[in-house]
Amino acid sequence: MPSIAVVPGDGIGNEVVPAAVRVLEALAQATGIELRFQRFDFGAERYLRTGEAVPADISAVVREMARTFDAIFFGAAGDDPRVPPEGTARRFLMTLRKDLDLYVNLRPCRLLDARLTPLKGKTEKDIDFVVFRENTEGLYSGLGGVFKMGTTDEIYIREELHTWKGVNRILRYAFEYARRTGRTRVTVAEKSGEEGLWLREMRNVARDFPDIEAENMHIDTLAYQMVLRPERFQVIVAENMWGDILSDLAAALHGGRGLSPSLCLNPETGCYVEPVHGTAPDIFGQNIANPFAAVLCGQLLLEYLGYSREGQLLQQAVVKAIQVGKTTPDLGGACTTDQVTDFLCEAVRELAAEARAVPT
């Protein structure tokens, strides 16, 4: 039985992750798959009770989680006005990424209803691609520093790190994903010229995938084309910061961060899923947070665990909710988080029953 560690974290993570777990449990009961969930209390709520947001030995906790559980379902970290910066789940999240070396950040961009995109004339068939963000290097590697801070002579240095290992493995994973999912083109974001590591390694890796078209595109042109012609993209690969920016732009194309799941993994160490909308402290506690991104994280989780068919039912339930207007205010609806979750639970039961009735 697959076991999942559940860490809601901060802010609306404490609302949308339990909602998603409810829907997953309803799906498991309706389809006969078995899932085991165990909740961990890390973040601002723990800090307010105990004075610590995470255990002192958080590295050991993370390593034990990776050994004990098949995956981790994380909610959100940071931005809680009630606690100091160290009072959030951010340390857990950073330890998770660093200690498990989770170099793949997978962000699907899939339009589920044409009414949700701001792009004129684009439909569901036009917006369906995946952004792969290298998750451990680049400008976020922590190199550099500040000298003479607060003076007129202040110097701020932030260095960008790229290694052959880091670039090769994210490119290879993206090409393998394209082949595995029936996609035929991989687009690599770069702007370093012919001698750049990303371009050279893209060409090297592409030789092992003659069935996949490989192309490189300058990052500014790629962002421009994502808005004008999203239908031309299937798989996009980018270094850490560019992937961060492109994946948020992609979220705007398909309806917003409230519909944006992500999966971070290293095939050798483990994975976690996370809705990318953050903690949303302005609406936390009001029961109006959109649970769709968290539920779609459930789809990514099930696909990772080998239950792709069951995961599709989660996406279908979200589509059904959007079609009939069972949405939270950010998508123009009037439902609460609980009401949307109730609808999704019933929808997955109905969809599972329909799937059982169809001969295979």
Say which CATH superfamily domain 109-256 falls into. Isopropylmalate Dehydrogenase (3.40.718.10)
> CA separation (Å) from 23 to 20, 30, 276, 317, 348?
5, 10, 19, 10, 8
- Please classify residue 114 by burial: count the beta carbons closer than 10 Å to its beta carbon, then call 0-12 exposed, 13-18 middle and 19+ buried: middle
Q: pLDDT by residue for the chain (360 residues), tens digit each?
A: 899 999 999 999 999 999 999 999 999 999 999 999 999 999 999 999 999 999 999 999 999 999 999 999 999 999 889 999 999 999 999 999 999 999 999 999 999 999 999 999 999 999 999 999 999 999 887 788 999 999 999 999 988 899 999 999 999 999 999 999 999 999 999 987 767 999 999 999 999 999 999 999 999 999 999 999 999 999 999 999 999 999 999 999 999 999 999 999 999 999 999 999 999 999 999 999 999 999 999 999 999 999 999 999 999 999 999 999 999 999 999 999 999 999 999 999 999 998 877 665
Residue of 213, 188, 191 lying closest to 202 (CA atoms): 188
For residue 179, which phi and psi values (nearest 5 degrees)?
-65, -45
Query: What is the pLDDT, as a whole number, of residue 183?
Result: 97
In this structure, what are the phi and psi dihedrals at residue 102, rounded to the nearest 5 degrees? Answer: -85, 85
Which residue, among 293, 292, 263, 283, has the nearest Cα to 79 in the 3D structure?
283
Q: Where in the chain is the domain with CATH 3.40.718.10?
A: 1-102+269-360, 109-256
Domain 1-102+269-360, architecture per CATH? 3-Layer(aba) Sandwich (3.40)
Measure the CA dihedral 113/118/123/124, to 10°. Answer: -40
The first and second tokens of residue 248, run together, are 């948020």
What is the model's pTM? 0.94
Specify whether the CB–CB gap between 290 and 330 falls below 8 A: yes
**pLDDT confidence of residue 143:** 84
* 3-state SS, residue 16: helix
